[in-house]
C-alpha cells in the first residue's frame, strides 16, 4: 500500500516565527565573524568597511580583511584559525549531540483509565497508520515511507526491549515526541511528525506512553533506511530542527468554544493534518504561509482545509463529520487513499472528536482566495463521451448509476457531486478509480474494486472526461492523458 | 461489434464482441470457460475473479476492449480435475469448498498473491482475500488451504 508512504515526511511545522529564526541565524553568524576577526589589526571601521558604526556586522556582514602572505604565517592568524575551529567544534557539538537517556525496565503496572485515554491518543495521532506495515503486527513498524530524500522504514514502537521502545522512560518518550530524539540520543527524521506532536499536552503524551508500554512486545528489528546522501547522516537533521522545530503545547483560546479549541488541538497536535494538507518547501518542511491550504501526498491531492464552507460545493458540518468518520456522504463521497486510514481512526474515537475537528476547520476562512478553476476549457471530445458512457454502464453503473442496486442496498454515492469529480485536478478521481477503496478483513464496506488492471489509459481517460462532463460541463479537465501516464508511472 | 483478440490461458482468441462487454461474458459465453462465475455483477463478491497480467480483477466489471495484448488467466489454467495444481490440491485436501460457487474466484485471487509473495503470513492472506466472499462460510478452510499451498511452494509454515 502506498497511501502512507510519503505522508509523514511532510509533517514539519513551519509557520510564524521562521523569519525571526533566520534572522537569529544571521545574528549568530555575524557574531561569530566579529569574534573571529577581533584580533586583526586596523580600526573597527576599516575592518568592516562599513559607514554605519552602530552594528555593521549584523546588518551588512562583510568578509575578512585582505590577507598578505606575511600575515598568513603569523601567530595571530593561526590562533584565529584555532579559535574558529574550536568555536565550530563546540557549535557542532551543541547542535548535533544529544545524550542518551538511561534505559529502564519496562513498566508493568498501569492505570486502567490512563490506558483507555492513551488508546484514544494513539488513535488520534494515527500512530498505527505509519507504524504498522500491511500484513504486519500492530505498531511493529516496517512500512516504507518514500520521500524525495530516500526511503525510510517506520520503526517498532511496541515495548520490545531490543527492537522497540521497551527500555524507554517517559522522559525519553516525551523527548522523542517533542524534539525528535531517540532514547539513545540519535536524531529521528522529521517524517516522524514531532513538530506537531510537540504541541500536545504532557498528559496526552504520558497517556500514549502508558498505552504503548502496556501492549504486547513484538520482536521486529528496524529495516535499514535507504536515504540519499547527505540525508543519510542523521546529525544533519539538527540543522533542519534549528530552522523548523518550534511551537509550544497548544493552550485553549478563551474567546473560542470548547469544541473549537479541541478541534484545533486535534488538527494541529496529534492529528498533524497540516503534514499533508499544507504545501511543503524544498527540504520537506511545511511552508509557513500555506497553513492547511492544500498539499499533495502519494500522488493524491490533499485538498485545502480552509474556506471549506464557502466553496462551489460547500461542506456542511454534518457532511464533514460524516466524512471524517469514513462514512459515505451525499454530495462529497467517502475518504479514499491516504485519508481512508485516517478517517477509520477517527471513526473509532468518540463522535465528539470529529465534531470538534469540523467545528474548527469550518471556522477557517480562505485568506488567499484559491480559485478552483482549471485554466483551459477545451470542448469535450464526442468520441470520448460515447466510449466513456459505455464504460460507465459496464464498469461503474452497478454501484453509481441513479437507482443502482448498490446505491439502494449500501449507500454507494452518485458521482456528480463528489469532491473528486468537482475538484480542479483530475488526480483524486483517477487515483480512486485506479486503486479503489480496499476491503478491510472483518469490516463492512464501502468497498470499491481497483480498476488499474481492468481499464487501460484510453478507457480511463474517456471515463474521466465523460464523468467530468456530467459534473462540471463548463470546466473539462485538461491534460487527462498526461496525468494518467504520470499516475501509472508513480504506481509502478 | 468489433474484432477483439484476447490472450486467454496462453492461447490467442479472436472474437467478435461489443467492446464494452465485460470479460466474464466473453469467457463464459464465447470461450466456454465456465470456471469464473457470475455472482453479484457489481464487483463486490469476487466469484468472477481472474488474473490479468499478474493482477486479480473482477471479470464482471472489466470491459474486453482494453484487454488486447494482456495475459488473461482463468481457473482452468491452474490444473484439471485429474491433475490439480498445488493450490487446487491444497483446497481439496483442506476441503475448502462447500457449494463451490466462490472457489474459482478464491483460487485466482490466492494464486495472484502466491505468485507475488510465495510465503505470505496469515495476516497478509486475510487482507489480500478480503475482497472475495463465501456465503457458505468456509473462509477459515480457504485460509488454511492457502497457508498450506504457501508452504507447499517452499518451506512449510
Same domain, B98 and B47: no
Same domain, A274 and A229: no
Q: How far apart are CA A262 and CA A251, in angstroms?
A: 10
Cross-chain residue pair B61–A395, CB shorter than 8 Å: yes
The answer to whether A8 contacts chain B (CB < 8 Å) is: no
Same domain, B43 and B99: no
Instruction: For chain B, give the mean pLDDT.
Output: 92
Quickly state the pLDDT bin for A312 (edges 50, 70, 90): confident
Same domain, A238 and A262: no
- Tallying the residues shown for chain B, one arrives at 157
Q: Is residue B27 part of a domain?
A: yes
Instruction: For chain A, give the mean pLDDT.
Output: 84
- Residue A56 domain boundaries: 18-96
State residue B40 phi and psi, 5-degree precision. Answer: -105, -25
Quickly state the pLDDT bin for A386 (edges 50, 70, 90): confident
Same domain, B100 and B145: yes
Quickly state the pLDDT bin for A82 (edges 50, 70, 90): very high
Same domain, B55 and B93: no
Same domain, A134 and A226: yes
| Tens digits of residue pLDDT in A341-367 | 999 999 999 999 999 999 999 999 887
Q: Is residue A1 part of a domain?
A: no
The pLDDT of residue A369 is 57
Same domain, A301 and A419: no
Identify the residue among B42, B64, B70, B150 best suited for mutation to test binding to A, counting A beta carbons within 10 A and taking the highest.
B42
Same domain, A458 and A389: yes
Same domain, B62 and B117: no
Closest-approach residue (CA) in chain A for B126: A441
Same domain, A455 and A480: yes
Quickly state the pLDDT bin for A378 (edges 50, 70, 90): low
| Tens digits of residue pLDDT in A104-158 | 999 989 999 999 999 999 999 999 999 999 878 999 999 999 888 899 999 999 9
Buried b (16+ CB within 10 A) or exposed e, B113-132: bbeeeeebeeebbbbbbbbb
Pick from B12, B45, B74: which residue ends a domain?
B74
Same domain, B37 and B14: yes
Same domain, A209 and A287: no
Pick from A51, A73, A96: which residue ends a domain?
A96
Pick from B74, B106, B123: which residue ends a domain?
B74
Q: Is residue A391 part of a domain?
A: yes
Q: Is residue A370 part of a domain?
A: no
Cis ω before A44 (30° cut-off from 0): no
Same domain, B57 and B106: no
Same domain, A420 and A470: yes
DSSP string, A192-257: S-HHHHTTS-HHHHHHHHHHHHHSPP---PPPPPEEPTTTTSGGGHHHHHHHH---PPP---TTS-
**pLDDT at position B72 over 50:** yes
Q: Which of A173, A392, A449 is nearest to B133 (CA)?
A: A449
| Tens digits of residue pLDDT in A33-64 | 444 444 433 433 343 444 444 434 444 444 44
DSSP string, A267-299: HHTTT-THHHHS-B-TTS-B-GGGTTS-EEETT
Q: Which of A43-52, B48-57, B107-116 has the lowest mean pLDDT?
A: A43-52
The pLDDT of residue A266 is 97
Same domain, A185 and A281: no
Q: What is the pTM of this model?
A: 0.80
Q: What is the ipTM score, two decimals?
A: 0.86
Mean pLDDT of B27-31: 96
Q: How far apart are CA B89 and CA B81, in angstroms?
A: 10
Q: For residue B28, what is the domain's CATH number?
A: 3.10.20.30
C-alpha Rg value of chain A to the nearest Å = 27
Same domain, A47 and A91: yes
Q: Is residue A253 part of a domain?
A: no
Same domain, A237 and A106: yes
* Cβ contacts of B6 on chain A, cutoff 8 Å: none
Quickly state the pLDDT bin for A68 (edges 50, 70, 90): low
Q: How far apart are CA A318 and CA B104, in angstroms?
A: 43
Q: Is residue A91 part of a domain?
A: yes
**pLDDT at position A296 over 80:** yes
**pLDDT at position A74 over 70:** yes
Cross-chain residue pair A394–B41, CB shorter than 8 Å: no
Quickly state the pLDDT bin for A263 (edges 50, 70, 90): very high
The answer to whether B3 contacts chain A (CB < 8 Å) is: no
Identify the residue among A453, A458, A459, A491 best suited for mutation to test binding to B, counting B beta carbons within 10 A and taking the highest.
A453
* Cβ contacts of B52 on chain A, cutoff 8 Å: 453-454
Nearest by CB to B131, from A394, A449, A451: name it.
A449
Cross-chain residue pair A135–B20, CB shorter than 8 Å: no
Pick from B45, B74, B103: which residue ends a domain?
B74
Mean pLDDT of B110-116: 96
Q: Is residue A375 part of a domain?
A: no
Q: Is residue B141 part of a domain?
A: yes
Pick from A182, A209, A244: which residue ends a domain?
A244
Q: Is residue A51 part of a domain?
A: yes
Q: Is residue B104 part of a domain?
A: yes
Pick from A213, A244, A275: which residue ends a domain?
A244
Quickly state the pLDDT bin for A373 (edges 50, 70, 90): low
- Residue B56 domain boundaries: 2-74
Q: How many domains does chain A have?
A: 4
Same domain, B46 and B95: no
Q: How many domains does chain B have?
A: 2
The pLDDT of residue A36 is 46
Q: Is residue A374 part of a domain?
A: no
* Cβ contacts of A393 on chain B, cutoff 8 Å: 20
The pLDDT of residue A114 is 96
Q: How far apart are CA A229 and CA A184, in angstroms?
A: 23
Q: Is residue B81 part of a domain?
A: no
Same domain, B19 and B68: yes
The pLDDT of residue A183 is 96
The pLDDT of residue A156 is 97
Q: For residue B126, what is the domain's CATH number?
A: 1.10.150.120
The pLDDT of residue A75 is 84
Same domain, A69 and A199: no
Q: For chain B, give the percent of residues with pLDDT over 70.
A: 96
Q: For residue A418, what is the domain's CATH number?
A: 1.10.760.10
Amino acid at each position: 500500500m502506498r497511501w502512507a508512504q510519503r505522508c509523514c515526511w511532510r509533517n514539519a511545522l513551519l509557520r510564524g516565527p521562521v523569519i525571526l529564526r533566520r534572522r537569529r541565524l544571521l545574528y549568530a553568524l555575524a557574531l561569530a565573524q566579529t569574534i573571529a576577526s577581533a584580533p586583526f589589526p586596523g580600526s573597527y571601521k576599516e575592518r568592516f568597511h562599513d559607514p554605519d558604526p552602530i552594528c555593521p556586522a549584523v546588518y551588512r556582514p562583510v568578509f575578512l580583511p585582505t590577507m598578505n602572505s606575511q600575515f598568513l604565517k603569523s601567530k595571530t592568524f593561526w590562533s584565529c584559525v584555532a579559535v574558529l575551529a574550536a568555536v565550530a567544534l563546540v557549535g557542532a557539538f551543541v547542535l548535533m549531540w544529544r545524550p542518551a537517556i538511561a534505559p529502564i525496565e519496562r513498566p508493568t503496572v498501569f492505570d486502567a483509565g490512563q490506558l483507555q485515554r492513551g488508546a484514544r491518543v494513539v488513535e488520534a495521532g494515527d500512530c498505527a497508520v505509519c507504524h504498522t506495515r500491511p500484513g504486519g503486527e500492530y505498531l511493529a513498524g516496517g512500512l516504507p515511507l518514500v520521500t524525495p530524500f530516500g526511503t525510510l522504514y517506520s520503526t517498532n514502537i511496541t515495548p520490545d526491549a531490543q527492537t522497540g521502545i521497551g527500555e524507554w522512560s517517559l522522559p525519553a518518550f516525551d523527548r522523542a515526541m517533542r524534539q525528535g530524539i531517540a532514547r539513545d540520543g540519535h536524531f529521528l527524521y522529521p517524517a516522524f511528525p514531532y513538530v506537531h506532536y510537540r504541541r500536545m499536552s504532557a498528559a496526552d503524551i504520558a497517556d500514549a506512553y502508558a498505552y504503548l508500554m502496556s501492549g504486547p512486545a513484538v520482536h521486529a528489528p528496524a529495516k535499514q533506511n535507504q536515504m540519499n546522501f547527505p540525508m543519510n547522516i542523521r546529525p544533519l537533521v539538527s540543522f533542519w530542527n534549528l530552522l523548523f522545530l518550534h511551537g509550544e503545547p497548544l493552550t485553549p483560546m478563551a474567546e473560542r468554544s470548547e469544541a473549537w479549541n479541541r478541534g484545533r488541538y486535534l488538527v494541529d497536535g496529534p492529528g498533524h493534518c497540516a503534514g499533508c494538507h499544507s504545501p511543503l518547501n524544498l527540504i520537506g518542511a511545511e511552508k509557513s504561509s500555506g497553513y492547511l491550504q492544500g498539499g499533495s501526498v502519494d500522488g493524491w491531492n490533499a485538498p485545502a482545509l480552509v474556506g471549506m464552507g464557502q466553496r462551489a460545493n460547500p461542506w456542511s458540518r454534518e457532511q464533514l463529520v460524516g466524512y471524517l468518520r469514513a462514512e459515505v456522504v451525499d454530495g462529497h463521497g467517502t475518504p479514499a487513499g491516504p485519508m481512508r486510514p485516517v478517517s477509520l481512526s477517527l471513526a473509532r474515537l468518540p463522535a465528539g472528536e470529529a465534531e470538534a475537528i469540523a467545528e474548527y476547520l469550518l471556522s477557517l476562512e480562505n485568506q488567499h482566495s484559491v480559485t478552483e478553476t482549471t485554466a483551459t476549457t477545451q470542448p469535450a471530445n464526442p468520441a470520448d463521451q460515447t466510449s466513456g458512457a459505455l464504460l460507465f454502464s459496464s464498469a461503474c453503473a452497478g454501484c453509481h448509476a441513479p437507482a443502482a442496486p448498490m446505491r439502494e442496498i449500501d449507500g454507494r454515492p452518485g458521482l456528480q457531486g463528489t469532491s473528486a469529480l468537482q475538484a480542479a485536478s483530475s488526480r483524486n478521481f483517477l487515483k480512486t478509480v485506479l486503486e479503489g477503496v480496499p476491503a478491510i478483513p472483518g469490516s463492512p464496506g464501502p468497498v470499491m474494486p481497483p480498476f488499474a488492471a481492468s481499464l487501460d489509459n484510453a478507457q480511463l481517460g474517456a471515463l474521466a472526461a465523460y464523468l467530468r462532463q456530467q459534473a462540471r460541463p463548463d470546466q473539462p479537465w485538461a491534460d487527462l492523458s498526461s496525468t494518467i501516464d504520470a499516475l501509472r508511472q508513480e504506481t509502478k | 461489434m468489433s474484432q477483439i483478440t484476447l490472450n486467454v490461458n496462453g492461447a490467442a482468441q479472436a472474437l467478435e464482441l461489443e467492446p464494452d462487454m465485460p470479460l466474464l461474458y466473453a469467457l463464459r459465453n464465447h470461450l466456454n470457460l465456465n470456471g469464473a462465475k457470475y455472482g453479484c455483477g457489481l464487483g463486490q463478491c469476487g466469484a468472477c475473479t481472474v488474473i490479468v497480467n499478474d493482477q486479480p480483477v473482477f471479470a464482471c466489471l472489466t470491459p474486453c476492449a482494453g484487454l488486447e495484448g494482456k495475459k488473461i488467466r482463468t481457473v482452468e489454467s491452474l490444473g484439471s480435475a485429474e491433475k490439480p495444481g498445488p493450490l487446487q490440491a491444497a483446497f481439496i485436501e483442506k476441503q475448502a469448498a462447500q457449494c463451490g460457487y466462490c472457489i474459482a474466484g478464491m483460487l485466482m485471487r490466492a494464486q495472484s498473491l502466491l505468485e507475488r509473495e510465495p510465503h505470505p503470513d496469515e495476516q497478509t492472506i486475510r487482507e489480500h482475500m478480503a475482497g472475495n466472499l463465501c456465503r457458505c462460510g468456509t473462509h477459515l478452510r480457504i485460509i488454511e488451504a492457502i497457508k498450506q499451498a504457501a508452504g507447499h511452494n517452499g518451506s512449510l509454515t
